[in-house]
Structure formats: C-alpha cells, structure tokens
Structure 1
Amino acid sequence: MIVLLPPSETKRHGGDGPALDLDSLSSPALSDARRDLVDDLVKLAADPPACRTALGLSKSQDAEIERNAALCTSPTLPAIGRYTGVLYDALDVETLRGAAATRAQHRLAVVSALFGLIRADDRIPAYRLSAGSKLPGRPTLAAFWKPTLEPALAEIADQELVVDLRSGSYAALGKVPGAVTVDVVAEHSDGRRSTVSHFNKAHKGRLARALAGSRAEPDDAAAVAAVARRAGMRVERRDSHLTVVVPA
C-alpha cells in the first residue's frame, strides 16, 4: 500500500543532508522534468517581480524567492520531514517507532509541483512552487506533469494499492488508476452534512498515520476502511471512495 499525500506550502528551513541530487531521487523517469523545473525556478529567482507574479508571492515573502535561488546548493531533508502544516502535524511521523516507522517510510509518498512523485526518504531542499503556479513560457503544471507523472503513478498502482489523499490541485497533476480516494464531511446534530475545509487536512493526516503504521496490508477500499475504524475514525465506503465523517 502507498499513501499518496499532497505537499504543503510551509516547509522546514535548512537540513542536514547534501545538496540536491536529482539523479538520486526515486522515480528516475521524472528526472528530466524535475531538472527543467529546477532550472526554471533558479532562473526566475533572479527576477523578483516576475517571480512574485508567477508564484503568487508578496514582497514580504521574498525569503521564498531566496530559497528557490539556492535550490541547487542548499541542504536537504527527507521529504517526509521537509513538509509542515496541519496535515503533517496530524501525521506526526517522527513519533512512529520501530516497525511502524519502517512501514511509514515505505508507504508514504508525496506528489510535489516541483519534483512530481517523491518517496518519504527522498532528500529535497526547501522550495516554493505550488500546483497552481504559472511559470513564464510554460503551460499549467498539470499539463506539464501529466505525460510523465501519470505513467509513473500507474506503474505503482499496478504493484500496490494506492490511497490518494491529495487535494484537487495536486490530484490534477496526475491521475492514479484504481486508487482509493477520500473526502471528509462534518455531520450536524440534525443530520445535515457539510464539507470540511481547513480541518480536512488534519483528518487526512490522522488517516495517513493510521495507514502508515498499521500492521495490516490493505489491498482494497474495504480493508483501508477497516484500518481507519480500528483507529477510531468513522468511515463510510462507496466502491473505492471513502468518506470520513466527523462531528460538526
């Protein structure tokens, strides 16, 4: 089983690893696309006004531009330790121990706007590029990534069950055939249901933690739902789609 996560806008600064080595990352079929985007971001960082426009940044966020300028020289961290924010706080992978930590390293993967599909232990620098960014002279990132990312995702889906926890903009970078998908809804006291927005990430993070560390080896949506229920989550299933139901 692979649990596919979105990245986060916020990322830990610094790192304890060597500079970015694109050839060392998993899914080597994506190397050329990664190299093109890294080169674009480094060049774009030399023009702060254009960079702010492309990445949707304000002047107060120029530190993000400096990160991109240093993409090829700054230190790296494992991808699962680079991303921060609500989902990753709930996942709290650093507190997993022993066999659960080992399983998490194998099962967790991220789809990044810059690197495409990366595994938990792929070492990456801090950067700024979102799925909705529009780089000068390029199509949308969804159009850029689909031709190479979808085959890479399909190859994984041929071998293992994929639980896709990505948000819409990152799911658009490449579809996963046969994936288990998940949404989160809040149930009110009168039975009404509404979409969970901000805390959607927290609940998906908790689900990711349950799946990452579980001794079970789910091979379909029903088995995924069973793991979630054992972790105390209320889950409904319709074919390969799961709905996590939380109190409003």
Structure 2
Amino acid sequence: MLVLLPPSETKAEGGSGPSLDLTALSFPELEPVRAKLLAALVDLAQDVPASLAALGLSERQSAEVTRNAELHSSPTMPSLSRYTGVLYDALDVPGMKPAERRRASGRLAVASALFGLVRADDHVPAYRLSASSSVPGVGPLGALWRPALEPVLAGLDGLVVDMRSGPYAGLAKIPGAITVKVVSEEKGGRRLAVTHFNKAHKGKLARALACAPSEPDSVRKMIAVAAKADLRLEQTGPTALELVI
C-alpha cells in the first residue's frame, strides 16, 4: 500500500544530507517538471518583494525566500523528517521503533508542490511553495503538474490511500484511490466534517497504517488496523472511508 500525505507549509531547519540531487529522487519521470520549478523558484528568489507576492508571504517571512534562493546548496533530510506541523506531530516519526520506521518508509509518500511526489526517505531541502502558488514564468501549478503527475499516480501498484488536502489533490487525480474523511458524530447519528482537528486524526491513522506489522492491503484490513489503534474507520462507499471521532 501507499499512503499519500499532504505536505506542510512549515519545514524543519537544516539537515545532514548532501545538497539536492534531483536524479536521486523517486519517480524520475517527474524530473523535468521538478527542474523547471526549481529554476523558476531560485530565479524568483533574487527579487524578494516579487517572491513574497507570488508565494503569499509577509515581509516577516522573508527567510522563506532565502530558503528558495539556496535550494541548490542547502542541506537535505528525509521528507518524513522535513515536513512538520499537526499531521506530522501525530505521525511521530521520531517515536517510531526501527522496524516501524522501515515499514513506514515503504508505505508513506508526500505530495509536494515543488517535487510532485516524494517517498518517505527521499532527501529534500527546506523550501517554500504551496499548491496554490503561481510562479512567474510557470503559471498555475495544476496545469504544470497534471500531465506529468497523473500518469505516475495512475501507475502506482497496490492500494493507494489519498490523504492529500484539497489544493494538492487538485494537482492530479488518482483513479481508484481510497479517500478518508474525518467526521464527528452527533446525537441521532448525524455526521459533520471535522476541519480543525482533521490533520491530527489523519496523522494518527497514517501512523497506524504505516507501522502495522502486516501490510493493510485492503479496505477491510485498513479498518482492522485502525480498530487496533482505537480509531473508528468505516467504509461509506466503494473507495470512501470516514474516520469517526
């Protein structure tokens, strides 16, 4: 199985890996788009006001532009360690045992506005680019990524669980992927979509699926693994699940 996670706006600082090597990343079919975006971001970073405007940042966030200017030379770290925030706090990669981390490496991948799709152990630098950004000379990222990314996603083997947020799901479709919606259940059984704690609960589910001793390669097994982690996961359609909190 492959659980596809959203990225985060915030990134961990530093890293002990060498500078970015696009040829070392998974899914080499995406390299031409990666290279084009990388060059455009580095070029854009030479103009700080233009970068802030294009990336939707304030002047207090100018350090993010510096990150983009140094994309070719800054250190890297595995993507699962680079991304931070609520979902990744719940995923708790540092708290995984060695065997769990090995399983997670094979079962988790991250959607990325800059790299398209990276596996857990792909080394990436800190950067700033979101799916909703419009980079001068490149244009809307969906139009750029869709022709390259959709064939890659369509060719993934096995069960694919799509936990991407809306803007990243908009970059490319995944035919047949399992989707997960986080809902709360009121008295009388009415269910409401959860927004505020959505990421935390998806992180908990991703951790359970990634670390399970036996790979959950079907919806039935996903539900069983979730139950062992005290998570209530229910099937509501052929490829739709609800995580009830």
Whether TM exceeds 0.5 here: the answer is yes
Paired position in structure 2 for 1:210 = 208
Helix, strand or coil at the partner of 2:208: helix
| Runs of 5+ unmatched residues, structure 1 | none
2-side partners of 1:42 and 1:175: how far apart? 28
Query: How far 1:190 sits from its partner (Å)?
Result: 5.0
Q: Deviations over 1:166-211 (max 9, x none)?
A: 1111111111111111010112345433221121000000000000
Give the root-mean-square deviation of aligned CA atoms: 1.1
Helix, strand or coil at the partner of 1:215: coil
* One-letter code aligned to 1:229: A
Paired position in structure 1 for 2:59 = 59
What are the within-5 Å matches in structure 2 for residues 1-248 of structure 1? 1-156=1-156, 159-238=157-236, 239-246=238-245
1-side partners of 2:215 and 2:172: how far apart? 25
| Runs of 5+ unmatched residues, structure 2 | none
**TM-score (norm. length: structure 1):** 0.95
Aligned residues between the structures = 244
Q: Is the 8 A contact 1:15 1:77 kept in 2?
A: yes
Q: Deviations over 1:65-110 (max 9, x none)?
A: 0000000000000001000000000000121113221100111100
Tell me whether 231-240 or 18-27 shows the greater mean CA deviation. 231-240
Helix, strand or coil at the partner of 2:103: helix
Query: How far 1:235 sits from its partner (Å)?
Result: 1.5
2-side partners of 1:82 and 1:178: how far apart? 29
Query: How far 1:32 sits from its partner (Å)?
Result: 0.8
Query: How far 1:139 sits from its partner (Å)?
Result: 2.9
Query: How far 1:144 sits from its partner (Å)?
Result: 0.7
Query: How far 1:53 sits from its partner (Å)?
Result: 1.1
Helix, strand or coil at the partner of 1:237: strand
* One-letter code aligned to 2:244: V
Q: Is the 8 A contact 2:40 2:138 kept in 1?
A: no
Query: How far 1:142 sits from its partner (Å)?
Result: 1.0
